[in-house]
A and B are shown apart, each in its own frame.
Chain A
Amino acid sequence: MANKEKNKIKLAIYWGAACGGCCVSVLDVHEKLFDIVAAADLVFWPIALDFKYKDVEDMPDKDIDVTLFNGAVRNSENEHMAHLLRKKSKLLVAYGSCAHMGGIPGLANFSNRQEIFERVYETTESTVNPEKITPQTKSKVAEGELSLPEFYNDVRTLNQVVEVDYYIPGCPPQSERLLEVFAAIVSGAELPPKGSVIGALDKSQCDECPREKTENKLLKKFKRPFEIEDDGKTCLLEQGVICLGPATRGGCGVRCIEGNAPCRGCYGPPTSIPDPGAKMMSAIATIIDENEPDAIKKVIETIEDPAGTIYRFSVPQSIIRRKIMPQEKKKEEAVLQS
């Protein structure tokens, strides 16, 4: 992967539907950024450097050695850039939870464009929009035609759009992990098989977690973190707080639990667990201390938004990757009548 000049690699960093935190996590390597810059030419990085899309389009194919793509694919611009960067890069890395599994933007798969537009441009308390003006992909103004990316119904992960070589999970990934991965790439060390999750462990958060687990975890009520008097020692799940530790890979340094907050699952599930929510449903069902249907339902009622909790970062990547919307249900009825 050596480049002619000074063995420097060409590195690009791009954001799709993201919050910016992943790009900041790259800056969070602090003075080590100089090591990165010493080993790599940053050829494209919108948050920090003034390159244009045109500059990327003008590059020969496979000219970029490594692209770290963060963010989900939620509009036509994200999609276009995913295709473009795939074409121009030797290695395309899905960097962070959103590119990896959909992440927080992926929670929009509980909804669709119509609902989101109605909420944002019509019904939000601070909105006055009697003409119901919504963004158009094309609009004519005196100076000519203006265009905006098309907002999709569905949020996709990067690998639902283009082929991905590696995944570095996390919201955001731990900067130390990025440095390790970067050092491995620069050193020309043999890389793991294509499609691997790198910069994380394959054991679960629970395996890494210092909190005490007993065999006897049975619950009649689940609680939100502020509702418990945490003793700082006992497993959070045993104290009734939904912690995604059992369904999440380690590698972050149990950072939320170290901060006395439950794991939300941003590192995604270990290889052996295809669907984190399914695993959590098993884990939760095991600790419910009731055997009668109504009593069980009552315990389940104490879990605030189960779907959004157990799939916090992974809706678009999960087996049932989006909600069936009411109008789609109407289609269902229409099929029946025809």
Chain B
Amino acid sequence: MTYEPTIIAFLCNWCSYTGADLAGTSRMKYASNINIIRVMCSGRIEPMFVLSAFREGADGVLICGCHPGDCHYHEGNYKCLRRFHLLQKYLTQMGLNEERMRLEWISASEGKQFAELADDFTEKIRSLGPCKLKETAETLT
């Protein structure tokens, strides 16, 4: 059986989700491995969400928000950016490959960029193979 990665994508409502929606309405094809969760703003994405995604078995986590300066709530994406780097530092300390988590800015008009990003990230995660985090956390030895 070929391995199909499970990817959780957190997309902010105002830019990135609209961008992903544009990819859909424009009938662009992109990897079906991406499971989108819409949040109001990338600043709403708590570290807890990302940790839970990995613990529940995600192989990769993608975070998208409005471009810097464009956040509907002004500063949410900067907050997201700072959390992202901290999370990445922490996850690396826990033995996770930092490439399993990616942050990109996608505007409402960037449907094509979103579709390409989805494909590119899926291929990256496919090449890394299944994430062992869930199994490691749950196997008590």
Contacts and interface: CB of A to CB of B under 8 A. Distances in A.
Contacts of B54: 320
Given A278-B47, A281-B87, A328-B136, A335 B129 contact: yes
A322 B91 CA distance: 11
Interface stretch (B7-15, B24-32, B75-83, B107-115): B75-83
Contacts of B91: 320
A324 B81 contact: no
Contacts of A323: 93-95, 136
Interface stretch (A38-46, A148-156, A253-261): A148-156
Chain A contact-residue range equals 35 or more
Nearest to B126: A336
Contacts of A329: 95, 132
A300 B86 contact: yes
B133 A324 contact: yes
A110 B136 CA distance: 12
A291 B90 contact: no
A220 B8 CA distance: 32
Given A306-B93, A336-B3, A284 B132 contact: no
Interface in A112-161: 152-154, 156, 160
Contact of A282 (B3, B47, B132): B47
Interface of B: 3, 46-48, 51-52, 54-55, 68, 78-79, 81-83, 85-87, 89-91, 93-96, 128-133, 136-137, 139-141
Interface of A: 110, 152-154, 156, 160, 274-275, 277-279, 281-282, 284-286, 288, 290-291, 293, 296-297, 300, 305-308, 310, 319-326, 328-329, 331-333, 335-336
